[in-house]
Structure 1
Amino acid sequence: MKKILLLLVFICFALCLTACDPTSTEASMNTNLTQTTTTTAITTTTNNYVAVTHIELIVSQAEVCPGDQITLTVNITPSNATDQTFVITLSQNTYVDFANPNNQLLLDAINGGQTNITETHVTATSNDNPSIYDSQQIYVSPSGSGACPTP
């Protein structure tokens, strides 16, 4: 009985070895079996972006004479907004010159040969959100008028 059992174990072992032949071109249940493992890393980032909610444009004086200088102040809210940059635009046919020396926002009133009071619109627009802006008007009286006597 032991000899028969040993013979059966030997035959089973031989069959197992022939079934796992790596040089065989025949497909078997165990050949070409692959396992794919996918690992996905989850990254959590904290967004510290703070949006601009309001912009305020302040002019030092709204009624000026040619040669007067106007200082502009722009306040961004909240004060810790991520992008606090802005654009200053002047209306067409403007009668002020814009300068930005030493990061100061200065306007110089000019006459341009006008005999009437002229109006210039100054607008500060947030780069963070262009729908957030503020505008002010500056009125330039002509030289020689009651408001601006000739020097």
Structure 2
Amino acid sequence: VNSTLDWKSARFAYEFDFISRNRGFGGLIVEAKYTDVQVNLTAPLINEFARARAPIPALGGIGRVYVVPNISITGEVTGFKLPDSIDSRYGGHYVDVDVYGTVNFTNNIGVKGGYRSLDMGYLVKQDNGSFTLKGMYFAAVLRY
């Protein structure tokens, strides 16, 4: 059995920091995400696939604390829920939680590592699906 997962995502967000201090900030996030996910399963006698594309509005919050001037800890949560109690044929949810630490070596270069959890699901008439990702990650930070 061969399988492939092709996931494309774009995020357009606005962040308003209602608390802003030298040692950190806290704010609200309003965003629109566009997600395009395609999964293919191929076996000797069968070929199956599923594809889901959707714009997803989301609201959330962010907070960051600077432990020392070049080291920060950040937490961000965004989400959206369309309850199926409004119309039993349609529903969905999207929750994205990201907690990470950043070490900045200069104003332009740093590293970050954290834990991210992404949980989404949808219901459109007779079609439904769910998807969960979670785990640790590490990344380089490059700014211009």
Confirm or deny a common fold (TM above 0.5): no
The higher radius of gyration belongs to 1
- Structure showing the higher helix proportion among its residues: 1
Bigger RCO (CA 8 Å, 6+ sep)? 1
Q: TM-score, normalised by structure 1?
A: 0.25
- Structure showing the higher strand proportion among its residues: 2
